[in-house]
Amino acid sequence: MMRAKIAVTVDNFVFYKIKDTYKIALVERKNEPFKGHWALPGGFVDQDEDLPDAAKRELQEETGLVVDKTQQIGTFGKPGRDPRGHTISVVYLSQINGEKDLIANDDAAKAEWFDIKDLPKLAFDHSEIVNFAKQFL
Protein backbone atom coordinates (compact mmCIF):
# COMPACT_ATOMS: atom_id res chain seq x y z
CA MET A 1 0.00 0.00 0.00
CA MET A 2 1.30 3.44 -0.97
CA ARG A 3 1.33 5.99 1.86
CA ALA A 4 0.27 9.54 1.11
CA LYS A 5 2.85 12.27 1.55
CA ILE A 6 1.74 14.65 4.29
CA ALA A 7 3.21 18.10 4.89
CA VAL A 8 3.45 19.75 8.31
CA THR A 9 2.91 23.47 8.81
CA VAL A 10 2.61 25.83 11.77
CA ASP A 11 0.18 28.72 12.16
CA ASN A 12 0.34 31.55 14.69
CA PHE A 13 -2.58 33.09 16.53
CA VAL A 14 -0.94 36.21 17.96
CA PHE A 15 -3.03 38.71 19.88
CA TYR A 16 -3.09 41.61 22.26
CA LYS A 17 -5.94 43.10 24.26
CA ILE A 18 -6.83 46.78 24.37
CA LYS A 19 -9.73 47.62 26.66
CA ASP A 20 -12.40 45.04 25.75
CA THR A 21 -11.07 44.41 22.25
CA TYR A 22 -8.78 41.67 21.00
CA LYS A 23 -6.54 42.34 17.99
CA ILE A 24 -4.90 39.53 16.02
CA ALA A 25 -2.06 39.59 13.51
CA LEU A 26 -2.86 38.54 9.94
CA VAL A 27 -0.82 38.50 6.75
CA GLU A 28 -1.95 38.97 3.18
CA ARG A 29 -0.61 36.09 1.10
CA LYS A 30 1.85 37.05 -1.65
CA ASN A 31 1.67 33.66 -3.40
CA GLU A 32 -0.85 31.04 -4.45
CA PRO A 33 -2.79 29.33 -3.12
CA PHE A 34 -5.08 32.09 -1.86
CA LYS A 35 -2.88 34.89 -3.20
CA GLY A 36 -4.29 38.22 -1.96
CA HIS A 37 -6.26 36.60 0.87
CA TRP A 38 -5.59 37.15 4.56
CA ALA A 39 -4.26 34.33 6.74
CA LEU A 40 -2.66 33.59 10.06
CA PRO A 41 1.13 33.95 9.87
CA GLY A 42 2.72 30.55 9.33
CA GLY A 43 4.29 28.12 6.94
CA PHE A 44 6.05 24.83 6.42
CA VAL A 45 8.22 23.20 9.07
CA ASP A 46 11.80 22.72 7.91
CA GLN A 47 13.59 19.37 8.06
CA ASP A 48 14.87 18.68 11.61
CA GLU A 49 13.12 21.79 12.99
CA ASP A 50 11.23 21.67 16.28
CA LEU A 51 7.60 22.81 15.99
CA PRO A 52 7.75 25.80 18.40
CA ASP A 53 10.93 26.98 16.67
CA ALA A 54 9.18 26.76 13.30
CA ALA A 55 6.24 28.78 14.62
CA LYS A 56 8.53 31.51 15.99
CA ARG A 57 10.60 31.56 12.78
CA GLU A 58 7.56 31.84 10.49
CA LEU A 59 6.06 34.57 12.67
CA GLN A 60 9.26 36.60 12.56
CA GLU A 61 9.76 36.03 8.81
CA GLU A 62 6.23 37.14 7.89
CA THR A 63 5.54 39.91 10.45
CA GLY A 64 8.82 40.91 12.10
CA LEU A 65 7.37 39.92 15.50
CA VAL A 66 9.61 38.07 17.94
CA VAL A 67 7.90 36.19 20.76
CA ASP A 68 9.59 34.51 23.69
CA LYS A 69 6.75 32.23 24.71
CA THR A 70 4.23 30.45 22.55
CA GLN A 71 1.79 27.68 23.41
CA GLN A 72 0.58 24.88 21.17
CA ILE A 73 -3.23 24.93 21.23
CA GLY A 74 -4.37 22.59 18.49
CA THR A 75 -3.80 20.61 15.33
CA PHE A 76 -5.80 20.84 12.11
CA GLY A 77 -5.47 18.24 9.37
CA LYS A 78 -8.75 17.80 7.53
CA PRO A 79 -8.00 16.56 3.99
CA GLY A 80 -8.60 19.34 1.48
CA ARG A 81 -7.73 22.19 3.86
CA ASP A 82 -4.82 23.06 1.55
CA PRO A 83 -5.17 22.68 -2.23
CA ARG A 84 -1.46 21.77 -2.53
CA GLY A 85 -2.02 18.46 -0.75
CA HIS A 86 -2.70 16.90 2.63
CA THR A 87 -1.29 19.32 5.17
CA ILE A 88 -1.40 19.14 8.94
CA SER A 89 -1.07 22.46 10.76
CA VAL A 90 0.00 22.79 14.38
CA VAL A 91 -1.38 26.04 15.81
CA TYR A 92 0.44 28.21 18.34
CA LEU A 93 -0.95 30.99 20.52
CA SER A 94 1.11 33.98 21.64
CA GLN A 95 0.04 37.06 23.59
CA ILE A 96 1.98 40.29 23.29
CA ASN A 97 1.74 43.44 25.39
CA GLY A 98 0.20 46.11 23.18
CA GLU A 99 0.39 46.79 19.48
CA LYS A 100 3.75 46.32 17.83
CA ASP A 101 4.61 47.40 14.29
CA LEU A 102 4.22 44.58 11.79
CA ILE A 103 6.64 44.33 8.88
CA ALA A 104 5.49 42.13 6.02
CA ASN A 105 8.29 40.01 4.58
CA ASP A 106 9.00 36.62 3.03
CA ASP A 107 5.75 35.36 1.45
CA ALA A 108 3.55 38.00 3.12
CA ALA A 109 2.52 40.99 0.97
CA LYS A 110 1.08 42.84 3.99
CA ALA A 111 0.88 42.31 7.75
CA GLU A 112 -1.75 44.07 9.85
CA TRP A 113 -3.64 43.95 13.14
CA PHE A 114 -7.37 43.18 12.92
CA ASP A 115 -10.15 43.43 15.47
CA ILE A 116 -11.17 39.84 16.14
CA LYS A 117 -14.83 40.89 15.73
CA ASP A 118 -14.19 42.33 12.25
CA LEU A 119 -11.98 39.95 10.29
CA PRO A 120 -11.69 39.70 6.51
CA LYS A 121 -12.40 36.42 4.73
CA LEU A 122 -9.50 34.11 5.62
CA ALA A 123 -7.54 31.62 3.51
CA PHE A 124 -7.47 27.86 4.06
CA ASP A 125 -9.42 26.86 7.20
CA HIS A 126 -8.09 29.80 9.19
CA SER A 127 -11.60 31.02 10.13
CA GLU A 128 -12.12 27.66 11.82
CA ILE A 129 -8.75 28.00 13.58
CA VAL A 130 -9.60 31.53 14.78
CA ASN A 131 -12.95 30.36 16.12
CA PHE A 132 -11.19 27.52 17.94
CA ALA A 133 -8.48 29.85 19.34
CA LYS A 134 -11.03 32.29 20.76
CA GLN A 135 -11.64 29.90 23.67
CA PHE A 136 -8.10 30.67 24.91
CA LEU A 137 -8.64 34.43 25.11
Side chain identity at residue 129, one-letter code: I
Name residues whose C-beta falls within 8 Å of residue 75's C-beta, 6 or more positions apart in sequence. 88, 89, 90, 91
Give which of 123, 119, 6, 132 is closest to 73, Cα–Cα. Answer: 132
Domains of the chain: residue spans and CATH: 7-136 (3.90.79.10)
User: How would you class 90 by CB atoms within 10 Å of its CB: exposed for 0-12, middle for 13-18, buried for 19 or more?
Assistant: buried
Distance between CA atoms of residues 74 and 89, nearest Å: 8
Summarize pLDDT for 15-46 with one digit per residue, the tens: 999 999 999 999 999 999 999 999 999 999 99
Question: What are the pLDDT digits (tens) for 81-95?
Answer: 999 999 999 999 999
Global confidence as pTM: 0.95
